[in-house]
């Protein structure tokens, strides 16, 4: 600690921003920003009674140049065991989807051009036939995310002066403050609530339809991110479709894979199931259990999909060319179920065998060194899907006498950053959500993080 008289000469000796910036090998705007931050940090340290030393200022300014040049959106290694991790971009893309994005981003593409006729086409054509083939729907369009799909579906089938009927058990908050009553309000429709939070019967819907002549649709919402258990009852999509009013079925995660191949999916509604039941529109996300990019799928009857296609909101909510390219490539993989199971990362993680996970966990632990210990733990699906499911399997604990919060912070500060999870006072790295080629990177990051955390 220094006295005020000791600090004043050091403060006066600080260079001007433009002087320090001139010594940095960087574009002027970047050099000035780095110099200003470095001087501010150095001044704050001096005022707190710490002298970083004569060379610390230039060293820190050079570090800040590198930090400021680094992209904010970066690749992260997901060792958390949460497969569909919303904070990490949800589902990782298949190799074919990544390649499709690169092709679409290279120069121009036929996004809305019919190459046969030379006339304007529509972007939905690139995936509509695939969605019809895979689900049995008459028609389909895609928008920019799952929430947009529900909003557009509600607006297209109802609108001002019309009503939409929803069970009180389905008036949920999907995430990020996105609530079903708010969606209905934005669509312009009136909300008619039926039943109770835990029990809604077919008779509740029948009474509402009998007393209201301007019902545009019934909205059914899958409880994606929670479950009600015990004294509960709800009406199947088949029974709702038999009432003769258009049904919008928000199935949440968009399951196309077979539950026979992945038993964990048995509790999630599939797209083809809702289509076969006769739903006018079926909505889901593309970046959850479907395993594609952020997208919102809307499929169903020709008339209902056309109403959504021509609605003014459709343009505001439309999908971009890069997401569309990734979605098409992902859907193509589903034509061969065995190929989809191997190539789509979310499906591969869900279906990973115990032997495979054990082998990868021991490989990761060995690469980390003596601090890496294989333990038993449980991964989660995440992303608002299968909230009760725990995927038992191995994880690698960083078993050292160091604050786990400090280790986790050091892991995130690495390049690439690694996100693990803390359980029972230990940082765990889960091999289920790490690709084979990421194991050595994760191990190197763990070794470096332990060194930083111990320092």
- Tell me the pLDDT tens digit for each residue of 111-159: 999 999 999 999 999 999 999 999 999 999 999 999 999 999 999 999 7
Mean of all residue pLDDT scores within the chain: 92
25-29, 95-99, 224-228: segment of lowest average pLDDT: 224-228
- Number of CB atoms found within 10 A of residue 159's CB: 15
Q: pLDDT band for position 389 (50/70/90)? A: confident
- List all residues 6 or more positions away from 279 whose beta carbon is below 8 Å from its beta carbon: 220, 237, 241, 247, 248, 249, 300
Query: Is residue 1 predicted with pLDDT exceeding 60?
Result: no
Query: Is residue 237 predicted with pLDDT exceeding 90?
Result: yes
Query: Is residue 24 predicted with pLDDT exceeding 60?
Result: yes
% residues pLDDT > 70 (the chain): 98
Query: Is residue 443 predicted with pLDDT exceeding 60?
Result: yes
CA-atom Rg of the chain in angstroms: 27
The whole-number average pLDDT for the span 225-241 is 87
Measured CA to CA, the distance from residue 386 to residue 82 in angstroms comes to: 12
Q: Are the C-beta atoms of residues 431 and 377 closer than 8 Å to each other?
A: no
Query: Is residue 170 predicted with pLDDT exceeding 70?
Result: yes
Q: How many residues does the chain have?
A: 455
Q: pLDDT band for position 176 (50/70/90)? A: low
Nearest to 147 by CA among 170, 171, 176, 190: 176
């Amino acid at each position: 600690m220094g006295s005020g008289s000791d600090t004043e000469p050091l403060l006066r000796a600080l260079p001007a921003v433009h002087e320090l910036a001139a010594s940095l090998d960087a574009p002027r705007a970047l050099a000035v920003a780095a110099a200003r931050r470095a001087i501010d940090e150095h001044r704050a340290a001096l005022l707190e009674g710490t002298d970083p030393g004569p060379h610390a200022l230039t060293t820190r300014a050079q570090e800040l140049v590198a930090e400021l040049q680094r992209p904010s959106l970066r690749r992260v290694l997901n060792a958390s065991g949460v497969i569909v991790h919303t904070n990490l971009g949800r589902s990782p893309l298949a190799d074919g989807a990544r390649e499709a994005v690169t092709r679409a981003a290279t120069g121009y593409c036929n996004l809305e051009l019919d190459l046969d006729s030379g006339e304007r086409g529509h972007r939905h054509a690139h995936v509509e036939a695939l969605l019809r083939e895979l689900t049995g729907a008459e028609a389909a369009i895609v928008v920019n995310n799952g929430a947009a799909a529900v909003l557009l579906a509600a607006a297209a089938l109802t609108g001002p002066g019309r009503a939409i009927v929803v069970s009180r058990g389905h008036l949920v908050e999907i995430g990020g403050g996105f609530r079903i009553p708010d969606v209905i309000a934005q669509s312009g429709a009136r909300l008619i609530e039926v039943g109770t939070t835990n029990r809604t019967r077919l008779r509740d819907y029948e009474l509402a339809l009998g007393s209201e002549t301007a019902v545009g649709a019934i909205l059914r919402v899958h409880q994606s991110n929670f479950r009600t258990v015990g004294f509960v009852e709800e009406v199947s999509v088949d029974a709702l479709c038999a009432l003769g009013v258009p049904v919008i079925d928000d199935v949440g995660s968009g399951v196309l894979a077979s539950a026979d191949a992945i038993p964990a999916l048995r509790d999630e509604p599939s797209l083809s199931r809702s289509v076969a039941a006769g739903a006018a529109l079926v909505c889901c996300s593309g970046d959850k259990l479907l395993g594609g990019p952020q997208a919102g799928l809307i499929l169903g009857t020709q008339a209902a999909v056309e109403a959504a296609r021509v609605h003014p909101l459709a343009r505001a909510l439309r999908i971009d060319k890069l997401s569309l390219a990734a979605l098409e490539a992902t859907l193509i993989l589903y034509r061969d179920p065995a190929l989809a199971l191997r190539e789509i990362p979310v499906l591969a993680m869900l279906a990973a065998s115990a032997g495979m996970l054990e082998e990868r966990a021991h490989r990761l632990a060995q690469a980390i060194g003596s601090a890496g210990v294989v333990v038993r733990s449980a991964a989660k699906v995440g992303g608002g899907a299968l909230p009760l499911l725990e995927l038992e399997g191995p994880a690698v604990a960083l078993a050292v006498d160091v604050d786990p919060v400090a280790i986790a912070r050091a892991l995130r500060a690495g390049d690439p950053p690694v996100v693990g999870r803390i359980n029972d006072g230990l940082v765990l790295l889960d091999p289920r959500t790490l690709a084979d080629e990421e194991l050595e990177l994760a191990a190197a990051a763990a070794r470096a993080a332990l060194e930083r955390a111990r320092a």
